[in-house]
Chains A and B, each alone.
Chain A
Amino acid sequence: MRRRNLTTMQPLLSVNQLKIHFPVLGGVFKKRIGSVKAVDDVSFSIAPGETLGLVGESGCGKSTLGKAIVRLYEPNAGSIHFQGHDISHASQSSIRPLRRDMQMIFQDPSESLNARHSVRSILEEPFIIHGIGNKEERRIWVNQLLDRVGLPANSADKYSFEFSGGQRQRIGIARAIALKPKLIICDEPVSALDVSVQSQVLNLLLELQQEMGLSYLFIAHDLAVVKHISDRVAVMYLGKIVELADADAIYQKPRHAYTKALLSAIPEPKPSVKKTRILLEGDVPSPINPPAGSAFGHRINHPLYEQTIGQTFPLREIEPNHFVAADPCCLSTEDYAKVSQTV
C-alpha cells in the first residue's frame, strides 16, 4: 500500500545521470592529470515522506552525492530537481529560498559546527539567515530544539568543543531540523552515538517524518540501522548505484555480489557466534584509475572480467521495483540471464 503511494507521487527530489568529478593535479606545475569520478552517472528519486537508505564502500561517493544535492558541489553532468525546480546549476543566491526545505547533517560534526560559536548562536543561525522570529521567539525555539534532541537546556550557552562527539552530532541534528525542512540529507547521522542515544535519534527522525512528512536520504554504514529506517535502499560501488530496491528485498534477497559481501560482513553482537564472511581480497579500486571493466569483477578477480572491459552496466529491473546492475561478474548466472532478457 504504502509503497504504491510513494512511487506514484511526484518525487520531491530527482537525480538524473549525475556526475561529480574532481580534478587530480600532478607534477611540478600542478597540472590536471586526471579526475576522480566520485559520482558517475547516478539516477534515483525520493518521494515526499520517503526514506532512501544509501550504503556502500568507504570512498564510493556517498558524501559527495549528498553534498551535490545540497549544491555544495556543482554537477559536471546530469541534473538535480528539487520540488520541481532544476537546481543543477542554480546560483547560490537563487537556491537560498529552497535551502530552507533542504538540510544536511554532516558525517564529521567538527566539519559543520563553528567552535568559536555558542550552541545558541549555532542553532539560531538558520532562523536569522532566513529572517524568522524575534530574539525571544528564537530563544524559545532553541530550547525546544535542544529538548527535542535530548540535550539539557543549559547546553545553549556552551561551546561545541565542550561536548562529546555524540553530543556534537545531536547539535548538528537540532540545527538541521530547526526550519522544519522537507528533505534532510543525513550523512552518517548516528554512527557517533551509543546505541541507546542512537535509538532515540532514529525514533526522533521517524517521528519527525510522521509529523511533517519529511523525506530522508540516509547514508550509513550500519546496515541494521539503514534497514530499520529506510523504505528503499540503494547500494553504491565506486561512484555508481549497483542495486536499488525495497529495504526488505535487499536484505532478504540481495542480487549483486557486492551487496552480498556487505551483508555477510555485518558484525554479530554475540560473542559465541562466528559468522562466515565473504572476505574481499584484493585492492579496493581507485576512483582515480577505475578498472576498464566491471569494477567489482576486477576486485574479486572474476574469470569473466576480461569480457566486461569497455562495457557499462545499466540498472535493470529484475523483480518489480528491484533494480540491479546487469554485470555478469556480479550476478548469478540465472539472475544475469534474467536481466539480459529484459533489454
Chain B
Amino acid sequence: MSDILLDVRKLITAFDTDSGLLRAVDQVSFSVKKRQTVGIVGESGCGKSVTAMSIVRLLPQPSGKILEGEILFKGNDLTKVDSKDMRRIRGNEIGVIFQEPMTALNPSHRIGKQLSECFLLHKNMSKKEAWQASLEMLHLVRIPAPEIRMSDYPHQLSGGMRQRIVIAMALACRPDLIIADEPTTALDVTVQAQILDLIKHQQEELGMSMILITHDLGVIAETCDEVVVMYGGRIVERAPVKTIFENPRHAYTKGLLHSMPHLDTPRKSMLPVIPGMVASLNQFVHGCRFCQRMKREGSVLRERPLYKEISPNHWVEACPQCVEGI
C-alpha cells in the first residue's frame, strides 16, 4: 500500500481542563492517498481542527495532548518524531493553512518578512532570493499590487487577502501534503474558484495531497475525492464524494445535507435544522453521540457503535438507530 501518504490510526487527542481530561478527538481513523484530496466536514466543534493540529503537532499547549494512536506519514509515526524534526517536516513536507488567518500571522511583522522567513528557514535561500520568491507567491495567489503589499502589516489587509497570504505561506515550500482548514471561507466565490483552481493545479503538478476542512458542501463536491464526516469527536461516515452526496447512510450526514440553503429555497423562510444541540465535551456518552442529541435512550448510549466498512470504501459508525438497515 505504498500509495498511502498519511494514515491516521485510532487517534485520540484530549485537552487537560478544569473538568478533567476531555477527548476532543476520540479514535479517529482515515487515510490520505498520494494526490488525493480528502474533505472533512462536521458540526462546528466536532474536532476537525484538532485532528488537523494533531497531525502537525500544533495543539494548544500545555493543555492539548495526543493520548493514543498512530499518525503514519510516509510510513513514519509522527507522534514519535521529536519536535525539531517536526518543525522541519512542517512547512517543508506538510504545509498548513489555518482557519483564522490572524492566528497564523504575526501582527507586528510585515507580510514580506513573514513570507521570506519560510524560504530562509526551509530552502537555504539568500535574503534577496527569498524576497523574490515571496513576491512570486503573492502573484500566484492573486494579490493585487504585491510589491506594495509586501511592506504591509496584517491588519492593513482585508480578511480574504490575509487568507491568501496564509495560503501562499503553506504552498511556498511545495509540500507533499497540504492541510487546509477553511482556506476559502473568507473569499468571494470568484477568488475562491481561482484559488481552488490554483491549489488543484499545484496539486497535479507537484503530486500533492490535501486534507480540506470546510463547511461549504459545494466546495467539497467540487474538489474532494473522499469525504470524512465527523460528529462529536468521531467519524460517523467516510466515503467517496459521490457516495456521500448521493447515498449518505448516517442520519447526521443526511441532516447536514438537508440543512443547506439553496438558491431556490423561499426567501426568509425558516431553514431545516438538525434538532437539539451537541453535548459539551465533558457530557458526551460513550455510545452513539448523535442518538444522545436526538434524546434517544437505552443501550445505544452505552455501547460505542462499530466503525465498519459497509461497502468498498464506505465506512459508517454503525449505530442501528442512525443507520437504516444495519
Q: Are B190 and A194 in contact (CB under 8 A)?
A: no
Kindly report which residue of chain A lies nearest to residue B43, judged by CB atoms: A194
Interface range for A: 35 or more
How many cross-chain pairs have Cβ atoms below 8 Å apart between A and B? 203
Q: Are A58 and B159 in contact (CB under 8 A)?
A: yes
Contact of A248 among B267, B272, B279 (CB under 8 A): B267
| A residues 140-175 in Cβ contact with B at 8 Å | 150, 152, 154-155, 161-167, 169
Q: Are B60 and A161 in contact (CB under 8 A)?
A: yes
A267 is an interface residue with CB less than 8 A from chain B? yes
Given contacts A63-B159, A199-B259, contact A265 B271 (CB under 8 A): no
Q: Smallest distance from the beta carbon of B13 to chain A beta carbons, Å? A: 13
Q: Are B144 and A284 in contact (CB under 8 A)?
A: yes
Q: Are B280 and A271 in contact (CB under 8 A)?
A: no
Residues of B close to A308: CB separation below 8 A:
none
Contact of B259 among A58, A195, A271, A279 (CB under 8 A): A195
Q: Are A265 and B262 in contact (CB under 8 A)?
A: no
Residues of A close to B262: CB separation below 8 A:
224
Q: Are B148 and A288 in contact (CB under 8 A)?
A: yes
A188 is an interface residue with CB less than 8 A from chain B? yes
| B residues 256-272 in Cβ contact with A at 8 Å | 256-257, 259-263, 265, 267-272
| CA A156 to CA B283, docked complex, whole Å | 16
Contact of B242 among A161, A203, A206, A271 (CB under 8 A): A271
A269 is an interface residue with CB less than 8 A from chain B? yes
Flag A256-279 by CB within 8 Å of B: 1 or 0 each: 000001100111111110000101
| B residues 271-287 in Cβ contact with A at 8 Å | 271-274, 277, 279-280, 283
Q: Are B161 and A269 in contact (CB under 8 A)?
A: no
Interface-side segment among A85-93, A95-103, A106-114, A123-131: A106-114
Q: Are A194 and B215 in contact (CB under 8 A)?
A: yes
Given contacts A164-B49, A284-B144, A284-B191, contact A221 B185 (CB under 8 A): yes
Q: Smallest distance from the beta carbon of A149 to chain B beta carbons, Å? A: 10
Interface range for B: 35 or more
Residues of B close to A57: CB separation below 8 A:
188, 190-191
Given contacts A58-B158, A63-B159, A227-B267, contact A165 B218 (CB under 8 A): no
Q: Are B261 and A265 in contact (CB under 8 A)?
A: no
Flag B207-220 by CB within 8 Å of A: 1 or 0 each: 00000000111111
Contact of B144 among A195, A251, A285 (CB under 8 A): A285
Q: Are B189 and A267 in contact (CB under 8 A)?
A: yes
A-B CB proximity, top 8 nearest: A166-B44, A58-B160, A267-B218, A286-B144, A286-B145, A199-B271, A164-B45, A265-B189
Further contacts, 12 of them, CB under 8 A, given A57-B190, A110-B100, A161-B60: A58-B188, A59-B160, A63-B159, A164-B44, A164-B46, A191-B215, A195-B256, A224-B262, A228-B261, A265-B192, A266-B189, A267-B221
